[in-house]
C-alpha cells in the first residue's frame, strides 16, 4: 500500500485544488469519499439480484453461500466505510496543502481494495486477507496520523 500510494502520488498528473479553510477541505473530502461508496452500492445491487435469483423456497430461510458472500461483503464494507469516512474527514484538517492529493488517492485505494476483497472472498475465504489488509492498513495508518496530529502536533486545539 505505501509503495502504491507513493507511486500514484508521484506519477499521477493532478494536484489538489487550493483549499485554505477547514470547511473547504471537508467539502473536498466529502466529494472524494462519495466515490468510495461505489463498491458498496454495487455490492448491494449484486446482493439483491443474487437473493432474487436464489433457488430458496423460503425467502427468510437459510441463505445460500452465494447470497451470504454478498451480504457479508456489504455489511463489512459499510462498517469499514464509516471508519474510513470519519478518519478521512479528520485527516483532511491536519494535512498540509501539498499533501491533500492523498485524499483522492486514499479514496481510490479504498474502493479498489474493497473490490479486490469481494472477488477474493468469492473465490475462497482463505484468500480474503490481501483485500482486507489493503483496506484496513491504510485505515490504521490514517488513525495513527490523526491521533499524532491531535495529541502531538496540536494538543492545544484538540477540541476547537
Give the pLDDT band (50/70/90) at residue 99.
confident
Q: pLDDT exceeding 70 applies to what percent of the chain?
A: 91
Full-model pTM? 0.85
Question: By C-alpha distance, which of 37, 5, 4 is closest to 115?
Answer: 37
pLDDT tens sequence across 136-153: 999 999 999 999 888 887
Q: Are 71 and 63 in contact (CB under 8 A)?
A: yes
Q: pLDDT exceeding 90 applies to what percent of the chain?
A: 43
SS3 sequence, the chain? CHHHHHHHHHHCCCCCCCCCCHHHHHHHHHHHHHHHHHHHHHHHHHHHHHHHCCCCCCCCCCCCHHHHHHHHHHHHHHHHHHHHHHHHHHHHHHCCHHHCCHHHHHHHHHHHHHHHHHHHHHHCHHHCHHHHHHHHHHHHHHHHHHHHHHHHHCHHHCCC
Give the pLDDT band (50/70/90) at residue 85.
very high
From CA 87, how far away is CA 140, in angstroms rounded?
Answer: 9
End-to-end Cα separation, the chain, in angstroms: 32
Residue range 85-110: mean pLDDT, rounded: 91
Which of 42-51, 53-62, 102-111 shows the lowest mean pLDDT across its residues?
A: 53-62
Domains of the chain: 21-159 (1.20.120)
From CA 135, how far away is CA 125, in angstroms rounded?
Answer: 16
Q: Are 121 and 73 in contact (CB under 8 A)?
A: yes
The mean pLDDT value of the chain amounts to: 86
Give the pLDDT band (50/70/90) at residue 62.
low
Give the pLDDT score at 59: 58
Q: What angle do CA 129, 117, 112 make, to 5 degrees?
A: 125
Give the pLDDT score at 29: 93
Amino acid at each position: 500500500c505505501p509503495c502504491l500510494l507513493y507511486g500514484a502520488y508521484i506519477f499521477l498528473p493532478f494536484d489538489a485544488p487550493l483549499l485554505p479553510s477547514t470547511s473547504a477541505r471537508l467539502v473536498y473530502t466529502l466529494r472524494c469519499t462519495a466515490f468510495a461508496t461505489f463498491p458498496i452500492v454495487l455490492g448491494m445491487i449484486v446482493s439483491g439480484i443474487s437473493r432474487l435469483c436464489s433457488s430458496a423456497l423460503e425467502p427468510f430461510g437459510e441463505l445460500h453461500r452465494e447470497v451470504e458472500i454478498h451480504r457479508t461483503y456489504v455489511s463489512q464494507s459499510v462498517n469499514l466505510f464509516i471508519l474510513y469516512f470519519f478518519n478521512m474527514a479528520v485527516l483532511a484538517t491536519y494535512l498540509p496543502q501539498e499533501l491533500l492529493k492523498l485524499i483522492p488517492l486514499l479514496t481510490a485505494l479504498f474502493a479498489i481494495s474493497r473490490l479486490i476483497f469481494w472477488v477474493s472472498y468469492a473465490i475462497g475465504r482463505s484468500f480474503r486477507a490481501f483485500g482486507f489488509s489493503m483496506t484496513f492498513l491504510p485505515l490504521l495508518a490514517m488513525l495513527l496520523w490523526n491521533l499524532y496530529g491531535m495529541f502531538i502536533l496540536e494538543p492545544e486545539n484538540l477540541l476547537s
